[in-house]
Each structure stands twice: as structure tokens, then as C-alpha cells.
Amino acid sequence: MSAAESRAMVAPVPFRRTRRLIFALLVAATTILGLWTMFRILHVGGLTPLELSVMALFTVTFGWIAVAFWSGLIGFALSIMRRDPLSLARACDSRPPESAHSVTALVMPIHNEDVERVAAGLEATCRDLPPQTAARRIEAFVLSDSTDADSIDREHEVMAALQQRLADHCRLHYRHRDSNAGRKAGNLGDFCERWGAHYDFMLVLDADSLMSGDTIHQMIAQMEANPNLGLLQTVPIPVRQDSLFGRANQFAAAVYSPMLASGLSFWQSDAANYFGHNAILRVAAFTAHCGLPELPGRPPLGGDILSHDFVEAALLRRAGWEVRMRTDLGGSFEEMPSHILDYAKRDRRWVQGNLQHLRLLGGSGLHMVSRVHFLCGALAYLSSLVWLAILVVSTADALLHALIDPNFFTSDAQLFPDWPISPPNLIMPLLGGTLAMLLMPKVLGVALAWRQSAAAFGGRARLLASALLEALFAILIAPLMMVFHSRFVIEVLCGRTVAWNAQSREGRALPWRDAVRYTWPGTLVGAIWAGVTWWYTPGFFWWLTPVWLGLLLAAPLVRFSSSLTIGRRLRRRGLLLVPSETSTPAVVSRLADQVPLEDAAKLTPPPAEYRRAMPLQSFAGDWALAPGDKKESATGP
């Protein structure tokens, strides 16, 4: 490879400032247009305090919709032209220098997990790796901070057996630490301090992650080719889902996520985000700049930084390291909760972590895009509370207009009545435009799959039927998720914290008892809401149909969407099929075909420690880089 080719691969992302400026102008112009339209609808006869509240809340929600809309549109354009969102070239080819040598650790932090599933997934990933070479070596590390005694004993047995199984293929190390300090971030930090100096890169896997060997090698090659790259994130796609809920989400991720990620990568460029797993990091950079301090105050908004991944990406970018996302790589997979209640429990933990990010918005030296990540992460859940507030305020306004008789004479000396002026005919255009912006990313995702990969989804007819089924399901569960997220946000703001335990990933059908137990408050509110609006303002009742209908059907939706039988029947009929089912990747097949491990006699200890300090970072004005690590202004373009 020539020196010119090498320089081209590590050149800065072109037009970074221009991209971000254009995207910001598009979002701002769209939001202003929506706000002006809402103002013209409401201001006839003067604005009441309730209507002013509606306008303020509408602005937040509409701006959030605009970000997703334009990201999807840009992602569609890039995907249809098969352009890399960063280089804008037709292909992303990262060839490392011929002299490149690296050692990579596949690190998997676990905490009271199903260790048999952990071992099966890790073995499938390791066995998919190509043979080791002198220039590129890969080892695996299972980092346990489990607290359950039985789980710890079983981890020792299973990991000893897995070491024996992988002895001729990939070195496996297991470490258990007695402390759970810092949770996952603390677990990874302990690894970096004790063994990080042995490795150039670490590829972080969750307990349910799967990655193909080819994808892993492409990621390592890109890290070797670009010495300025601190973190490279892939787009993990859910696999192995059997329940209706899991299959609908799996289908949505397979169709829409790569396209949306391309749009996000276009404007985020080299200040992308980190999802906490299925990503590769430069160990020296991570160790030097990603030691997380505790936030002042008590939990839930103080204490350990829970959603650590966003913050670690921001700290790397602040230090001048590039943070990129590869949206064209397949072979990056994960599993997910199989029913709505487990999914909501996971979101409850993320709500608390993401709301902590609001405290870091003013952190010293952070890149502007990193601050946007913090804000968007919080808005992902705050928007549900904002939506609920809009509906409540709008309902109150409609009821006031229905219950209070109009007064056309506002003065005793008035000779002629003040007849009400009809609002401009803009309500339907605003509603139609908002719905179009909400649905357009889905439409574009289906159009892209229709043209480029319909066979992978069972053919065009089944792709379209599956998309309609997924969209209907998403509409029906949206009000329930709105209620869940709103409650979670209120709990956090009221000071209620939550434990971050291992999440359930195994598919199971929920009993009616659990479905009713967790949904009856929302169903009761929906019934009262529907009844009051039907009695006093029937016109508004029909506008609210998607909301109250979803709440009234909450328990059946939770119960039947957890059904494995329904999900499997849909698969047999070719609905909600995804590429990992129509053409199963080797790494997924290996996991499905995994045979049980046999007990081994002894667990081999990890390698000798090579201590290296991981300094805690500051978000105040006195933060500083380690000598020689500053590459560029972290708040630059």
C-alpha cells in the first residue's frame, strides 16, 4: 500500500462543519414551520395559558420528530446510492499498514448472568474467528463481578470447561472481582488497569452479544489503519427472537436501523456515539481518558454514572480521538428482552442513566455533538412525558371549551357581539405533516429493503405485510410505552432509584396475572379518559382513539405479544422474517447448535498483571489531557 493510500484512509471526514450546519438548519427550519403553523391555529381570539403550554410542549416534540425524520431521509439517500456516510465514497476499505501488529482482547463483562448462555455465545464468536497470525492476535476475557455465590461457583466450572474447549483456537481468561464498584464501567476499568497494557484494542461484548469473525477482523483492520481512531461502533441487530414482541422489534431493527444509523453517522461524523457493546476501543486512549468520577449528590441523579457509554464516547472525543460508527458491517448481533415488561424494566434503568446526562451538558471541553448526544439520550424518554403532557393539556383545553358557555359580549357598553373567528384551515395539514414525518423513516426503510434485499425478508409481498403488521403493533403499544416512560421519568425526578441487575433475555409467555398487574392503572386511566371526552366533547374523543384504544388493550397486548406460539406461527407463514433467519450467519448457527460443556478439572488463571493507572476525569473547568495526548481541539469541527 502506498503512502498516499495510507494517508487517504486516515484523512479527516470531509465537510464536517458543513454537514452539521446543513442538518441543524433543516431541523430548525422544520421545527419553526411546525411551531408557526400551531401558533396560527391557536392564536385566533388570543392565546390562553393552556394553549401556550401546548405550543411549548409541541415545539420539543416536533423538534425531536424532525431530527429522526431528517436522519432517516439522509440515511435513505446514502443507502440507495450505496455511499459510505463518512467518506461519501462507494466503499469503506480499511487496509492496515503492512507493518501493523496488534493484540486484541474480546472482553465480556458479566453480572449474575446465565453463564451457560454466556459461554455458548462467546464460544460461537471465538470459533468464527479466522486463524491467529503473528501480526494479529486475539484473546478473550470474561470479566465477572457477580454477587450471587451459586452463580460464581458455576462460572468457575463453565469457564474452566470453555477454556479447555477453546484451547486450540483462542486463549480464554476469566476473572472474578469481589467488588461491584462502578458497575460495568468499573468492571472494564479494573481490566484496563490490571491487564490493559497487554492489549492494543479491546472489543466490548455484552453477555448476549454475537459477532462474526470477519466483522471483528474488519474492525481491527480499521483501528490499525487509523491511529487517530479511539472507538469504532457497529450497529448490532437483534437475533433469535421467538415471541411476537421480540420478532416485531427484530424485524424493525433489521429493516430500519442500518438506514437510520447511516443518517446519524453522516452528521455525527467523527464524534459518533457508543452503545456500550459490539464496539472496539483503543485501550491506551480509553485508559487515559475514560475514568469516570461519581456525580455529586445522591442517586438517582448523583453517584455512579450509569449510562457510561455516552460519557466515555464524549471523553474520548474531548481528548481529540475520533469516535466513528460503521453502518455497513453485518455480523454484529445481540439478543433482547422477549416481552414488553422486561423491555420496560430495561428502559427504566436507561431512563435513570440518561437523565444523569443532563447534568453533564455543560461539561468543560466537550464536543458540541457529544452534548447533543446527552440531550437526545434524555429526550428519548422525556419526550414520552412531553407527549403525555400535550394530550392532558389539550384534553383540559377541549373540556373547558365544551363546559364554559361562550360569551360574545365582553363589555357592558358593547353594542355588537364578538363573534368567534374560525381558525385557519391548517389543522389537517399539520396533523398530516406530523404523521408523515413520523412514518416516513419506516416507509423509506421498507422501500430500501424492497429494492435491495427483499428476498432476505421472505420476498416483497411478505416484506410489505410484515411492515404493516409491525407498524400496527408499534402504534398499539405506543400509548403503553408512553405511560411507562412517563412514570419512570417522574420517579427519577422524585428521587427514586433502581438496581441494575442482570436482565432477562429468555423467551417466555407471560401469565395474565402479570399482564394485568402492570397495566391496570393505565387501562383505568384510558377508560376514564375515553369516557369523559366521549361525554363532553365527542369530536375530541375520536382524535384520541389511538391513545385510549392502546391503553384499553394494554393487558391483552402484553399477554399475547409475549406468546412464543404466535411468534413461531408467524415465522412459519413467512411474516416478520429477517435476514438472520432466511440466510442464517455461521456464528448464529454455531450458537443454535452448541452442545453442552463438560466439566473441566481446573480453571487457568489470567495472565500476569501489568498495572497502569486509569485517572478519574473531571467535567469542571480544570480538566486536562495527559502529556502528549492532545491531538486537536476537542470542541473543534
Task: Write the pLDDT tens digit of every residue in 436-482.
Answer: 999 999 999 999 999 999 999 999 999 999 999 999 999 999 999 99
* Bridge pairing between strands 332-334 and 237-238: parallel
- The mean pLDDT of 318-344, rounded to a whole number, is 94
Dist CA 344 CA 337 (whole Å): 9
DSSP assigned state of 362: T
User: Mind listing the pLDDT tens digit for each residue in 202-237?
Assistant: 999 999 999 999 999 999 999 999 999 999 999 999
Helix, strand, or coil here: 107? strand
The whole-number pLDDT of residue 12 equals 66
The whole-number pLDDT of residue 1 equals 40
Q: Grade residue 89 by pLDDT with cuts at 50, 70 and 90.
A: confident
The dihedral over CA atoms of 591, 597, 602, 606, expressed in degrees to the nearest 10, equals 0
- SS3 per residue for 9-37: HCCCCCCHHHHHHHHHHHHHHHHHHHHHH
Buried b (16+ CB within 10 A) or exposed e, 102-137: bebbbbbbbbbbbbebbbbbbbbbbbbbeeeeeebb
| pLDDT above 80 for 69 | yes
Q: Grade residue 426 by pLDDT with cuts at 50, 70 and 90.
A: confident
Amino acid occupying residue 314: A
Nearest residue to 609 via CA among 291, 205, 191, 251: 191
Whether the bond between 300 and the residue before it is cis, its omega within 30 degrees of 0, is: yes
Dist CA 109 CA 122 (whole Å): 12
| pLDDT above 50 for 402 | yes
User: Mind listing the pLDDT tens digit for each residue in 511-570?
Assistant: 999 999 999 999 999 999 999 999 999 988 998 999 999 999 999 999 999 999 999 999
**Residue matched to cell numbers 406461527:** 569
Q: Which of 87-96, 270-279, 392-401 has the lowest mean pLDDT?
A: 87-96
Helix, strand, or coil here: 523? helix
**478: number of Cβ within 10 Å:** 15
For the range 30-35, what are the long-range contacts, defined as Cβ-Cβ under 8 Å and sequence gap of 24 or more? 30/62, 30/66, 30/69, 30/70, 30/437, 31/59, 31/62, 31/63, 31/66, 34/58, 34/59, 34/62, 34/66, 34/430, 34/433, 34/434, 35/59, 35/62
Write out the three cell numbers for 44.
385566533
**306: number of Cβ within 10 Å:** 24
Write out the three cell numbers for 397.
383545553
CA dihedral sign, ordered 466, 469, 474, 475: positive
Outline which parts of the chain fall under CATH 3.90.550.10: 102-339
Question: Counting beta carbons within 10 angstroms of the beta carbon of residue 443, is it exposed (0 to 12), middle (13 to 18) or buried (19 or more)?
Answer: middle
**Average pLDDT over the chain, rounded to an integer:** 89
Q: pTM for the complete prediction? A: 0.91
Write out the three cell numbers for 240.
433469535
In angstroms, what CA-CA distances link 486 with 47, 372, 479, 499?
Answer: 27, 22, 10, 19
The whole-number pLDDT of residue 499 equals 67
| pLDDT above 80 for 407 | no
Q: Does domain 102-339 have CATH number 3.20.10.10?
A: no
Write out the three cell numbers for 355.
437523565
